Chains A and B, each alone.
Chain A
Amino acid sequence: ETGVTQSPTHLIKTRGQQVTLRCSSQSGHNTVSWYQQALGQGPQFIFQYYREEENGRGNFPPRFSGLQFPNYSSELNVNALELDDSALYLCASSAGGPHDTGELFFGEGSRLTVL
């Protein structure tokens, strides 16, 4: 059983560019969540996907969007990058559905730097 894997691990973009981050969920997990962790802060919820549908969204603008695929892998897309988007982006998967309070399994994250 593999864990949650994310790619790329590090990337640098410039303001106004677009970025796509990828996540492969833990085997058998049907729910994926994305979090943004700014330096020195706790993770902030961006959105959650369950069975390929967005199922909850945090306080992030529409230029943050996502996809979940039939194999439960997921993407986070950010358009029109801003300097404040520089952060560690964490993907987390779980098996119990969107309202389960069980354990989330996190990947190691993708560190995005916007110049």
Chain B
Amino acid sequence: GAGVSQSPSNKVTEKGKDVELRCDPISGHTALYWYRQSLGQGLEFLIYFQGNSAPDKSGLPSDRFSAERTGGSVSTLTIQRTQQEDSAVYLCASSSRQGPSSYEQYFGPGTRLTVT
């Protein structure tokens, strides 16, 4: 596709339920990032993928959070046993490691997660 896409755009879930958030990066982008943006705040780094591997998981806030990436493309962020403090916008970004635009991140529109 032309840009990074994320689904769903909005998700409302009950406390304690599991949720899966999906990110489709720009074709050919090897790097993929997940961020969390709480209301009125900046972006909090969660995890970074290079290809299918995640060399940096340091931002995942707890073991309820996990992410995977398959085929060097689609990534899924899973939150188990959701809590109200998980409510936020989850942003995905991808970037290329080559050429003049290397390291520039291209963001998806985000998924707004609301835990009730």
- On whether the two chains bind one another, the answer is no
Chain B residues at the A interface, C-beta cutoff of 8 Å: none
